[in-house]
Amino acid sequence: MNPLREVTLDQLRQRTSVKWRHYPPDVLPVWVAEMDVMPAEPVARAITDAVALGDTGYPAGTAYAEALAAFGRERWGWEPAVERTAIVPDVMMGVVEMLRLVSPRDAPVVVNCPVYPPFYQFIRSMGRTVVEAPLGPSWRIDLAALERAFDRAGRGAAYLLCSPHNPTGTVHTADELAAVAALAERHGVRVVVDEIHAPIVATGVRFVPYLSVSGNALSLMSASKAWNLAGLKAALAVAGPEAADDLARLPEEVADGPSHVGVLAHTAAYRHGGAWLDAVLAGLDENRRLLADLLAAELPDVGYAPSEGTYLAWLDCRALGLGDSPAEAFLRHGRVAVNCGIPFGTGGAGFVRVNLATSPEIVTEAVRRMAAGWSKASS
């Protein structure tokens, strides 16, 4: 069964998470990266067993890292060394800690825009400067732009790579990542990579872990996106062989931040949730095709290329005449909530991000409302 078809809209509207409570009830939310699914059975069982035992203390042990290693070996032909991992509260807090480990406190951080808005927010909250290296054609890494950004940032800077890329869904190839690693080495830039969407790729697409092409980097991984565990905080920091000493300097108190129940849930997801994930991936393939068909029929001027990874769609709405923030028109006139592209940085104006991790019926209704919103805004 397709997990994306299991929960009705009425049931979803009973949820109290931000996706379903941020906007009034008449708004259809297809924005924040939550999935409209029930938990995978092994994950639900791990949570309920822990509660039944009163096992709600602090996390301990290496089971999470061992489960990720087994998952990586099976799915990607690569596995992290368990002894070079550390539990962190979540991916973005882990990113902050990794940046502190590999670069001076005032060092700039390079990002590929348009990119996940919290990259900007967290980097600036650290007192750091963001240096943008815009993605190139078809939203792939532009090595010339990246080199110019490394030059501006200077030696000792850090590069925060998003892989797979959010919001575009680009899955970087082994050759692209190897070229990035060589460039970073040549310019004295340390790489921290957010790989939270790693398990979510389209059929026929291969995810390549950055640490499989470079040993001098730090990665953040989590089951959060692939199994919808954002409310159960836990992630893993993983070091390449040459970065092991960096990770060893991680403050001990950071490991107290993750949820123990979260660690149990993420462990169960990696170890026993593969079949459920495969069903979700098949459902996402269907939704990508559905969205392409719906847009061709309802909003043919919107640019869309089905993503290679993530469950997000990045839509070019510049031809609709709705200005830099078409999301506002879709919300006001169509009562559908999508992410505005502007907070994603340079290249985001005129774009919106849509969450496809939902039922085909909701995808269909979302496009219908977007088309209605455009029609009303244009009249």
Mean pLDDT of 141-162: 98
Half-sphere exposure of 352 (CA within 13 A, CB side): 27
Distance separating alpha carbons of residues 372 and 365, to the nearest angstrom: 10
| Pair (185, 318) in one structural domain | no
d(CA 107, CA 141): 22
Are 149 and 179 within one domain?
A: yes
The distance between the two most distant Cα atoms of the chain, rounded to a whole number of Å, is 62
Predicted confidence band at 176 (pLDDT cuts at 50, 70, 90)?
very high
Task: Classify strands 158-162 and 190-194 as parallel, antiparallel or unpaired.
Answer: parallel
Query: CATH number of the domain that 80 lies in?
Result: 3.40.640.10
Domain count for the chain: 2
Claim to verify: residue 196 and residue 267 sit in the same structural domain: yes
* Spatial distance between the Cα atoms of 27 and 170, rounded to a whole number of angstroms: 29
Among candidate residues 195, 238, 198, the one with its CA nearest the CA of residue 92: 195
Q: From residue 44, give the alpha-carbon distance in Å to each of 259, 261, 377.
A: 15, 11, 44
End residue of a domain, out of 235, 256, 272: 272
Half-sphere exposure of 85 (CA within 13 A, CB side): 22
Amino acid at 72: G
Buried/exposed 274-283: b ≥16 CB within 10 Å, e otherwise: bebbebbbeb
Of 272, 299, 314, the position where a domain reaches its end is 272
* Residue 192 Rama label (left phi>0; alpha psi -120 to 50; beta): beta
On whether both 35 and 78 belong to a single domain, the answer is no
263 and 131 assigned to the same domain: yes
The per-residue pLDDT for 255 is: 84
Q: Are residues 182 and 137 in the same domain?
A: yes
Q: Rounded to the nearest 5°, which phi and psi values hold at 222?
A: -165, 155
51 and 171 belong to one structural domain: yes
Which of 242, 272, 302 represents a domain boundary (last residue)?
A: 272
Q: How confident is the model at residue 256 (pLDDT cuts 50, 70, 90)?
A: confident
Whether residue 20 is found in the same domain as residue 100: no
Q: How far apart are the first and last CA of the chain?
A: 42
Residues 244 and 300 both lie in one domain:
no
Classify burial at 105, counting beta carbons within 10 Å of its beta carbon; exposed 0-12, middle 13-18, buried 19 or more: exposed
CA 326, CA 306: separation in Å to the nearest integer? 20
Average pLDDT score, the chain: 97
Residue 32 belongs to domain with CATH number: 3.90.1150.10
The domain of 163 spans 42-272
Query: Does residue 142 have a pLDDT over 90?
Result: yes
**Whether residues 92 and 30 fall in one domain:** no
Question: Percent of the chain at pLDDT above 70?
Answer: 100
Note the Cα 307 to chain centre separation in Å: 13
Tens digit of each residue's pLDDT (9 = 90 or more) over 63-122: 999 999 999 999 999 999 999 999 999 999 999 999 999 999 999 999 999 999 999 999
CA atoms within 13 A on the CB side of 110: 30
- Separation between Cα atoms, residue 119 and residue 344, nearest integer Å: 9
164 Cβ contact list (under 8 Å, min separation 6) = 170, 171, 172, 195, 197, 198, 200, 201, 207, 308, 309, 310
Do residue 8 and residue 46 come from a single domain?
no
**pLDDT tens for residues 119-134?**
999 999 999 999 999 9
339 and 193 assigned to the same domain = no
- pLDDT, tens digit, 9 for 90 and up, residues 270-328: 999 999 999 999 999 999 999 999 999 999 999 999 999 999 999 999 999 999 999 99
Three-class DSSP labels, the chain: CCHHHCCCHHHHCCCCCHHHHCCCCCCEECCCCCCCCCCCHHHHHHHHHHHHHCCCCCCCCCHHHHHHHHHHHHHHCCCCCHHHEEEECCHHHHHHHHHHHHCCCCCCEEECCCCCHHHHHHHHHCCCCEEECCCCHHHCCCHHHHHHHHHHHCCCCEEEEECCCCCCCCCCCHHHHHHHHHHHHHHCCEEEEECCCCCCECCCCCCCCHHHCCCCEEEEECCCCCCCCCCCCCEEEEECHHHHHHHHCCCHHHHHCCCHHHHHHHHHHHHHCHHHHHHHHHHHHHHHHHHHHHHHHHCCCCECCCCCECCEEEEECHHHCCCCCHHHHHHHHHCEECEECHHHCCCCCCEEEEECCCCHHHHHHHHHHHHHHHHHHHC
